[in-house]
Amino acid sequence: MLFSVDENKKRKRMIREQLERRGIEQQAVLESMREVPRHLFVPDKLKNKAYHDCPLPIKKGQTISQPYIVALMIEALKLEENDRVLEIGTGSGYAAAVLAQIVEEVYTIERHQSLAELARERFEILGYDNLQVKVSDGTEGWQEFAPYDGIVVAAGAPVLPEPLAEQLEIGGKLVIPVGDRDLQELLVLTKESDGELNKERIARVRFVPLIGEEGWVAED
Ligand code: SAH
């Protein structure tokens, strides 16, 4: 069953205990995460752990982020309904689905073809029609639909990829983990009217590496 009572309960508890208790308060984020069936974004054998307070492994050595981190990043974007958002690192597609319930248009880039395809299938089954997936190096952004009101990077970068800063709208926010390969600071960059980026650090995090032209060199 797609939407069982049991999963619904687990989701409500996840919202209460992992998100609200830690200070997530934006209604659009809480509502979206109360609805998106996270258990359909994890490998079958991990379904029973889908609502646990941790990241989980998916294919290709990647991870679906911990629910709290997804909420923290999306809340930091301060989104409005008619916004257009770019995500780098589709992975399972979970965070993109959460975004798609909040804003009008979502563009998401994944470097692994197999992950992108699986995410696309999920979006189709769940009926998201405001979401587009592309297989490429997300450190170059997605020029075609720029500028974006929000950009969220779900992998750890050594430095801020310049094309992402360029493709951000004035007043828009870019959320990105920047640091070394296994520990980063989660930065929220706001593009001021003069084009300068105002920087805030909101957490210490551990993401899989952002691999690409303006990221790390692949080890795989
Ligand atoms: N948002 C995802 C979490 C993804 S983990 C979710 O909700 O499940 C980070 C993802 O970024 C991985 O799938 C990885 O393959 C991808 N990635 C790493 N470097 C990338 C790049 N340069 N462009 C696009 N995707 C990249």
Please tell me if the CB atom of residue 191 comes closer than 6 angstroms to any atom of ligand 1: no
CA distances from 182 to 30, 130, 188, 206, 208 (A): 29, 33, 19, 6, 7
Residue 148 DSSP one-character state: E
- Give the chain's largest Cα–Cα span: 51
Q: What is the pLDDT of residue 198?
A: 98
Which residue's alpha carbon is at the smallest distance from atom 10 of ligand 1?
Answer: 89
Please tell me if the CB atom of residue 94 comes closer than 6 angstroms to any atom of ligand 1: yes
Please tell me if the CB atom of residue 89 comes closer than 6 angstroms to any atom of ligand 1: yes
Cα of 90 from ligand 1 centre, angstroms: 5
Out of 65, 92, 114, 193, the active site residue is: 65
By most ligand atoms within 8 Å of CB, the mutation choice from 33, 73, 88 for ligand 1 is 88
Structural domains in the chain, CATH included, are 53-205 (3.40.50.150)
Strands 131-135 and 105-110: parallel
Distance CA 57, CA 192 (A): 37
Please tell me if the CB atom of residue 215 comes closer than 6 angstroms to any atom of ligand 1: yes
Which residue's alpha carbon is at the smallest distance from atom 26 of ligand 1?
Answer: 89
Which residue's alpha carbon is at the smallest distance from atom 14 of ligand 1?
Answer: 89
Q: What is the pLDDT of residue 3?
A: 57
Q: What is the pLDDT of residue 220?
A: 66
Q: Is 152 exposed, middle or buried (0-12, 13-18, 19+ CB in 10 A)?
A: buried
Q: What is the pLDDT of residue 219?
A: 81
Angle, alpha carbons 12-9-102 (nearest 5°): 40
Ordered mean pLDDT values, 10 residues apiece, the chain (220 residues): 78 98 98 98 96 97 97 98 98 98 98 98 97 98 98 98 98 98 97 97 97 91
Q: What is the pLDDT of residue 5?
A: 75
Residue ranges in the chain assigned as alpha helix (H): 5-14, 27-35, 67-76, 94-100, 113-126, 162-166
**Residue pLDDT, tens place only, 177-205:** 999 999 999 999 999 999 999 999 999 99
Annotation marks residue 65 as catalytic = yes
